[in-house]
Structure 1
Amino acid sequence: MKRILKLAFSTIAAVLLLCGMANAQLNKFYFFNRARILIGSEDYSQAIQSLNTLIKVDSTIAEAWFLRGVAKYNLNDIIGAQQDFSKSIKFNPVYSQAYLYRGITLSNLSKHQQALSDFEATIDLRPNSPDGYYSRGITYLLLNRIEKSIDDFNKVIQLQPKNIDAWLNRGSAKLYKGDSLSALADYSKAAVLNPFYSEAFGKRGRLYYQMKKFNLALDDLDKAISLDSLSSISYFFRALTHSEVDQDNLALKDINTAIEISPDNALSIYNRAIIYWTIKEFKNALADFDRVIKLNPENVLVYYNKAVLQTSLEQYNSAIENFSTAIELFPDFANAYMGRANVHGRLGNYYQAQMDRNYAQSIAELYGESHTNALTDTTSSFTNLIAFSSDFTPRTSIPFIDEYESKPVDILPFFKVIATDMAKQSIYSQGFMAIDTLNTGLMQKGVMLTLSTERGIKSIDSIVDTASWVSHLLKAMEYSEQKRFNSAIELYQETIDLKPNNPIAFNNMAVAQAEMVTFIASFEDRVGSLRLNMTISTNTVSKNDIANQSDAYAEPIKLLEELIEMHPNNPYFLYNLGNLYTLSYQFENAVLYYSLAIEHNVNIAQAWYNRGLIRLMQRENELACSDLGKAGEMGIKQAYLLIHRFCKR
């Protein structure tokens, strides 16, 4: 039920002006208004940063929490948005918009009963507004409470007769009820009310397709695409329609466009594989089946059809493997047993072939004539194009995410002490005695040490008249920035020999050792940095992988463990150990140390982000999305890319 939230900003601003604007240190309205403008220009991440400033100064402004919730929602951070709307309600219990939008987020999180309570609160507070009825109608539709859904859309139409989305959704509710003619009438009414609204023609075109009125379907889908050239679902259904009238080349062209717009839509790729198969482009068909398996490894039909195609191409061993996978996913898949029996027969494995045929027949007899699932019926065919609910979301609707789409996803880097140009620093105290003590002398030379994940100065040769161990330390930092890791590690060790237990040298040496392992591994294709893709899971990591990674990072882990014994509450050292455990594939330990880092300093955004990554890999999506939302709130923009990929509902 994802939709862009539109706000009455002027009303919110007026309320904010009454919230005690007299503050000598901060102009609250400035930050609020800046956030409003940023949201209006869809710069949601920067809007959140502006609102963070406002909330930090005055956490009781309901409108600030509400607005930040809106920004998070539009970045697909549904959990974070829901939490912010709850805060807004806490500080203003009669804030109807906050109830409405919290209800929308709860519905997105499949917490439909809680969502209904919020929509009812919205209706109680604003009984003559269509918004509460509309959103409740959508939720009733998701709960399959069709009559109540229709009643709510009726109320919306009564209050707002030209609400096109209400006509469209009432039509969809009637279609679920089985009343296709009434649904068609509602879709047609929407098209009359706004002849420039693509979705009205798209929905009616899809209904015509289902009614097998293919010429009318093509007319409407052509119109929908002319109004919205990025509607991948319209291209998808037009491809299906072209296929039904034996226009395979046009079907292929449209399905290619649908995939270009929504590249991770497994359903479109699956159907393209079927089209390739039909036009005898078998290599492309197999490649698409493989792509679907990567995106949706539990899709039983793709393994089956891939096996059927491989059988026709005499790739018998691969066919048996894929028939077997289909059977493993659905043990009563009668046709998969028949297909595997056919391949065994061709290979001369007659006993195994007969075993599979007998089992297929027993399944058919068990279900008799009451096959509620086509997979149990040996007479069913599975090579037709299929259409069912799927995600046709375009590649991205968030401008800054494009910056990260093509980049590999990795954990954020280590914290280490670096040398920086003092003129570029605004905060001189680091809150860490070992660093602040050294900075007292170094700042006179225009250099300042700071704990950071960023790069430092590559050359600091001008500083030579310092104490011997400090000179070693600074030179080691320089070598590390130049990726001369062995030289850096030697100098860090010399520093420790001269100044035992120095936390800067301990931490930086551990980081240099880890960076050297990762750097070398990038050339040797052996071990290295973690890469998260669409299908990665901690379950896919073998014991051998864990052993190799643990050995590779054993030395820096030992160093940091020693350092943490000396400084058990330092959140940055805890975070770094979390990174090392991540690189060692020891994910439970990684989560533990990221959590400890957060416990000691909740403002380390990198710890929230990295813990979110690991939780994604562990399939703990709700916890992961919450962590990533917090990281995004604190300014880690790429967190919203992962939320966009994995947290949409």
Structure 2
Amino acid sequence: MKDMISSFTRGLCFGNKLGCVSRISFVIISLIFHFSPVFAQFNTDRLIAIGRSALYYEDYVLSIQYFNQAVIAKPYLYEPWFYRGIAKYYLDDYAGAENDCSEAIKRNPYVTNLYELRGLTRIQQEKFSEAIDDYTRALKYAPDNRGLWHNRVLCRMHDKQYDEALLELDTMQSRWSQYARAYVMRADVYMQMKDTVQALSALDKSIEIDPYDGQAWAARSIIYLSREEWDSAVVQLDRAIHLMPRHAGCYINRALARIHLNNLRGAMADYDMALDLEPNNFLGHYNRGLLRAQVGDDNRAITDFDFVLKLEPDNMLALFNRAVLLDKTGDLKAAIRDYSKVIDEFPNFWTGLEFRAACYRKLGMTKQAEADEFTVYKARLYKHLYGTQPRMDPSQIRKRSDADVEKYNQLVMEDEQEQEQEYENEYRGHVQNRRVEMDFQPMFALSYVPQQHEVNSRNPYDEQVEKANAQLKNRQFYISNTHTSLDDAQSAVYFQLIDTLSQGIENTSSTVSAANLLLQRAVAYSMLQNFEAAIEDLSTYLYIDSTSVLALWQRAVCQMRINRFQASQGTNVQLQNASVRGDLTHALELSPESPWLLYNLGTMAAFQQDYAVAVDYFTAALRHDPSFAEAYFNRGLCRLYLKQQQEAVLDLSKAGELGLYHAYSLIKKNNK
């Protein structure tokens, strides 16, 4: 194909305007067909490559569709089954992922990753015994894979195979004597066996090897909490929180210890922080509600119990606490409603009957009040009625599973204070962990979907795009740097659009019309993450009109997305990056005032860690568009990397002001 193109380009002179090429329309149309295979004609390797790219960009549903086509085309290959299993794993379809891994293993039983992924899917389904079998088989082919040993030990712990787990930990520690996490797991096994002395010894060894492992300090705190040694627990948790400042459970546990040390202000601060990090944390809301009630912050305590009851509508203890607070704040009818629900569930709960009777009397409902009081009187002839709310007693803690309504005012803790152990999971790391707070905003490109901004709803404008839209009938181009993952219905729309555009290209005899359709199809391919096909269409378009800013711009972005995926796989992409820079630079020469092209060049430089050059490009983009939030954000990040703290904060603050609100959390993080 390249030879054919070269022969044509040597013999013919393509002008810069479409009118100059009318005499070679037949040649161009021929090239279009060579560059534009329909979806069904893609070879399987290419389908898998496109699917993996979509997987990398977290477009899981779309990637599954590509792998489906590969499975249909060549069902005997294990790769499409395996990669489809990864996509399903990301979508939490663990049963489907397990089935795909099993199919892949049937086709190639010698690939370690297949057993590793199937083991993870089985862990998510709590099939620990079967996961152990997978890791055992994987270790036959990769006996030195420490992650496989790590996960198998954790599975044995969950399966209560404590002796086997200890034996395997012996093996791990003989092979990897400086692997601190092995000692943390050993401590966890001893904790399950109620041997806190040996657990502490193992944790001491772990901290000796790696004093910066927050999990080890958190595990030690759990032992001290179980012994009710509150001061020691706080010391361990202080260290754990210093090393793991975003771990909500550590704040919850420290709050519990601080309450026992009568440090209510510190406990409240810990609950606030825990709920900032994990807004749906049950223990955080429940215990903070009790603490707020104790210090007289009744209205905000009600808010906490409202939230608890959204999480667990049938939690009678939370309901009774809310009733008491509604009673104290004067909402007597609502209090009676909640009291009644609790009493219906626990007819012999005398405290509830007394409190409801008091509400009835305040409302002048004497008959109902006397009925409740008489019920209690019959049961407690020997006792005086008490009508005051018992204060929270921090020395009393109930387990979360304890539903004794008489313990409504006791703090709650989990049934088992187990150390959270993480499975070694390379699949989670490849995608989710790549999305970090300090990640640059992506490049802008043509899209069929408007820019989806956090707050600011402005529609990016470009003169070249508007001219192109004037020639479109049913759709229009937008400038966007966001990509929404497509579901089956949405991707089907773009596949249909590609078929329609391909038919239009086949039926047209006009080079101008063909070029217009090519650009549309390239954008449709981009929406489907099929960047190679998009680049082929755009390259053909540029043979027709080498001065098209939009084609150069879109081709550069498509190539950059391919490059980032390939770089993540360990491929050297320096040459490909040079072609991206060439396209963007050429486009900028043709449209020197485009803030989008300047921004894209800056973003590319930032990706390559050339931060000073990137700052210059972003600054130039902001001269043309002073409201360019993404340019402020990226320039701010570059300045952080350049240690220009003051200027960085100003840029990030401006980005937040313009709608990129997560810039504020970045400011807060870096100020700390």
* TM, length-normalised to structure 1: 0.51
User: Given that residues 308 and 339 in structure 1 are in contact (C-alpha distance below 8 angstroms), is that contact kept between their aligned partners in structure 2?
Assistant: no
Alignment of 1:150-161 (within 5 A): 150-161=166-177
Q: Secondary structure at the match of 2:411?
A: coil
Q: Secondary structure at the match of 2:309?
A: helix
Alignment of 1:77-226 (within 5 A): 77-126=93-142, 129-226=145-242
Shift of the alpha carbon at 1:137? Answer: 2.8
1:344 lines up with 2:357 in the alignment: yes
Paired amino acid for 1:399: R
1:76/1:406 CA distance change after superposition, 3 Å:
farther
Higher-RCO chain (CA-CA 8 Å, sequence separation at least 6)? 2
Shift of the alpha carbon at 1:354? Answer: 4.8
Q: Deviations over 1:251-277 (max 9, x none)?
A: 111211111111122221222212211
Alignment of 1:622-633 (within 5 A): none
1:289 lines up with 2:344 in the alignment: no
Paired amino acid for 1:386: M
Within 2, Cα distance between the matches of 1:172 and 1:405? 45
Within 1, Cα distance between the matches of 2:494 and 2:90? 33
1:251 corresponding residue in structure 2: 267
Alignment of 1:576-615 (within 5 A): none
2:474 corresponding residue in structure 1: 419
User: Given that residues 332 and 375 in structure 1 are in contact (C-alpha distance below 8 angstroms), is that contact kept between their aligned partners in structure 2?
Assistant: no
Shift of the alpha carbon at 1:179? Answer: 1.3
User: Given that residues 265 and 390 in structure 1 are in contact (C-alpha distance below 8 angstroms), is that contact kept between their aligned partners in structure 2?
Assistant: no
Shift of the alpha carbon at 1:283? Answer: 0.6
1:263/1:249 CA distance change after superposition, 3 Å:
same
The structure that has the greater radius of gyration is 2
User: Given that residues 48 and 70 in structure 2 are in contact (C-alpha distance below 8 angstroms), is that contact kept between their aligned partners in structure 1?
Assistant: no
1:384 lines up with 2:414 in the alignment: no
User: Given that residues 187 and 203 in structure 2 are in contact (C-alpha distance below 8 angstroms), is that contact kept between their aligned partners in structure 1?
Assistant: yes
Within 1, Cα distance between the matches of 2:172 and 2:62? 33
User: Given that residues 64 and 87 in structure 2 are in contact (C-alpha distance below 8 angstroms), is that contact kept between their aligned partners in structure 1?
Assistant: no
1:353 corresponding residue in structure 2: 372
Paired amino acid for 2:138: T
Within 1, Cα distance between the matches of 2:180 and 2:342? 43
User: Given that residues 270 and 292 in structure 1 are in contact (C-alpha distance below 8 angstroms), is that contact kept between their aligned partners in structure 2?
Assistant: yes
Gaps of 5+ in 2: 1-40, 361-365, 381-397, 423-431, 442-451, 456-472, 480-492, 528-672
Shift of the alpha carbon at 1:191? Answer: 1.6
1:207/1:113 CA distance change after superposition, 3 Å:
same
Within 2, Cα distance between the matches of 1:194 and 1:300? 45
Within 2, Cα distance between the matches of 1:225 and 1:346? 44
User: Given that residues 345 and 353 in structure 1 are in contact (C-alpha distance below 8 angstroms), is that contact kept between their aligned partners in structure 2?
Assistant: no
Q: Secondary structure at the match of 1:195?
A: coil
User: Given that residues 129 and 159 in structure 2 are in contact (C-alpha distance below 8 angstroms), is that contact kept between their aligned partners in structure 1?
Assistant: no
User: Given that residues 212 and 243 in structure 2 are in contact (C-alpha distance below 8 angstroms), is that contact kept between their aligned partners in structure 1?
Assistant: yes
Within 2, Cα distance between the matches of 1:25 and 1:436? 17
Within 2, Cα distance between the matches of 1:153 and 1:326? 49
Equivalent residue for 1:306, pick from 322, 338, 347:
322
Within 1, Cα distance between the matches of 2:311 and 2:258? 26
1:302/1:153 CA distance change after superposition, 3 Å:
farther
How many residues in Structure 1 have an aligned counterpart in Structure 2?
401
1:198/1:69 CA distance change after superposition, 3 Å:
farther
Within 1, Cα distance between the matches of 2:214 and 2:176? 20
Q: Deviations over 1:543-568 (max 9, x none)?
A: xxxxxxxxxxxxxxxxxxxxxxxxxx
User: Given that residues 51 and 66 in structure 2 are in contact (C-alpha distance below 8 angstroms), is that contact kept between their aligned partners in structure 1?
Assistant: no
User: Given that residues 171 and 186 in structure 1 are in contact (C-alpha distance below 8 angstroms), is that contact kept between their aligned partners in structure 2?
Assistant: yes
Q: Secondary structure at the match of 2:120?
A: helix
Alignment of 1:338-487 (within 5 A): 338-347=351-360, 348=366, 349-350=368-369, 352-354=371-373, 357=376, 375-376=403-404, 378=406, 380=407, 382-388=409-415, 399=435, 419-420=474-475
Within 2, Cα distance between the matches of 1:159 and 1:360? 67
User: Given that residues 35 and 51 in structure 1 are in contact (C-alpha distance below 8 angstroms), is that contact kept between their aligned partners in structure 2?
Assistant: no
Within 1, Cα distance between the matches of 2:198 and 2:98? 36
Shift of the alpha carbon at 1:67? Answer: 4.9
Within 1, Cα distance between the matches of 2:124 and 2:497? 44
Paired amino acid for 1:290: D
Shift of the alpha carbon at 1:140? Answer: 3.1
Shift of the alpha carbon at 1:177? Answer: 1.9
Of 65-74 and 236-245, deviating more is 65-74
* Superposition CA RMSD, Å: 5.1
1:571 corresponding residue in structure 2: none
Shift of the alpha carbon at 1:75? Answer: 6.0
Q: Identity of paired residues, percent?
A: 19
1:181/1:154 CA distance change after superposition, 3 Å:
same
Paired amino acid for 2:356: V
Paired amino acid for 1:338: T
Q: Deviations over 1:161-184 (max 9, x none)?
A: 333333222212221221122222
Within 1, Cα distance between the matches of 2:453 and 2:416? 25
Within 2, Cα distance between the matches of 1:430 and 1:48? 15
Shift of the alpha carbon at 1:359? Answer: 10
User: Given that residues 310 and 318 in structure 1 are in contact (C-alpha distance below 8 angstroms), is that contact kept between their aligned partners in structure 2?
Assistant: yes
Shift of the alpha carbon at 1:113? Answer: 3.8
Shift of the alpha carbon at 1:131? Answer: 4.3
Paired amino acid for 1:382: N
1:232 lines up with 2:272 in the alignment: no
Within 2, Cα distance between the matches of 1:218 and 1:152? 33
2:605 corresponding residue in structure 1: none
User: Given that residues 336 and 359 in structure 2 are in contact (C-alpha distance below 8 angstroms), is that contact kept between their aligned partners in structure 1?
Assistant: no
Q: Secondary structure at the match of 1:219?
A: helix
1:280 corresponding residue in structure 2: 296
Q: Deviations over 1:237-260 (max 9, x none)?
A: 222222221111111112111111
Gaps of 5+ in 1: 1-23, 362-370, 408-417, 456-649
User: Given that residues 342 and 353 in structure 1 are in contact (C-alpha distance below 8 angstroms), is that contact kept between their aligned partners in structure 2?
Assistant: no
User: Given that residues 268 and 288 in structure 2 are in contact (C-alpha distance below 8 angstroms), is that contact kept between their aligned partners in structure 1?
Assistant: yes
1:247/1:44 CA distance change after superposition, 3 Å:
same
Within 2, Cα distance between the matches of 1:397 and 1:356? 60
* TM, length-normalised to structure 2: 0.49
1:429/1:74 CA distance change after superposition, 3 Å:
closer
Shift of the alpha carbon at 1:235? Answer: 1.8
Shift of the alpha carbon at 1:293? Answer: 1.3
